[in-house]
């Protein structure tokens, strides 16, 4: 499975996506008082038709981790759908850099490797 990362939700990607391509939009939120996090996202096909959406409670973690767990979760869902290409869109530069290998941190390297 080929995975491309896009740094924002308002990308020009989506017009003329190749066949069997899946587009994933991921977002994460954390309630500041409790520290509880959740992630959500939508998955679209190459014509930008809705495939499925999801919401997931992530427990107590940062927005960064909520987004990473969301990406991993949705990749696990679509892995069995036999799509050749996946494009992940995120509004978090930190997440994009971490997944592209621009940032190295031992604390979340196992999670990054699972996503990659």
Domains, the chain, ranges and CATH?
A: 2-115 (3.30.420.10)
pLDDT score, position 8: 42
Instruction: Report pLDDT digits (tens) over 46-82.
Output: 888 888 888 888 888 888 888 888 888 888 888 777 6
Average pLDDT over residues 35-51: 85
Average pLDDT over residues 10-33: 67
> Which residues are CB-contacts of 38 (< 8 A; sequence separation ≥ 6)?
28, 29, 30, 55, 56, 57, 58, 66
Residue 3 phi/psi, 5° resolution? -125, 125
Q: How confident is the model at residue 108 (pLDDT cuts 50, 70, 90)?
A: low
Query: Quick check: helix, strand or coil at residue 38?
Result: strand
């Amino acid at each position: 499975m080929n995975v491309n990362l896009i740094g924002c939700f308002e990308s020009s990607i989506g017009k003329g996506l190749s066949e069997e391509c899946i587009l994933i939009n991921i977002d994460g939120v954390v309630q500041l008082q409790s520290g509880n996090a959740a992630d959500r996202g939508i998955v679209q096909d190459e014509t930008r038709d809705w495939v499925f959406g999801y919401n997931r409670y992530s427990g107590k973690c940062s927005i960064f981790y909520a987004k990473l767990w969301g990406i991993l979760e949705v990749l696990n869902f679509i892995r069995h759908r036999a799509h050749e290409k996946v494009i992940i869109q995120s509004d978090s530069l930190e997440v994009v850099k971490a997944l592209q290998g621009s940032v190295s941190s031992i604390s979340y390297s196992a999670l990054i490797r699972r996503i990659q």
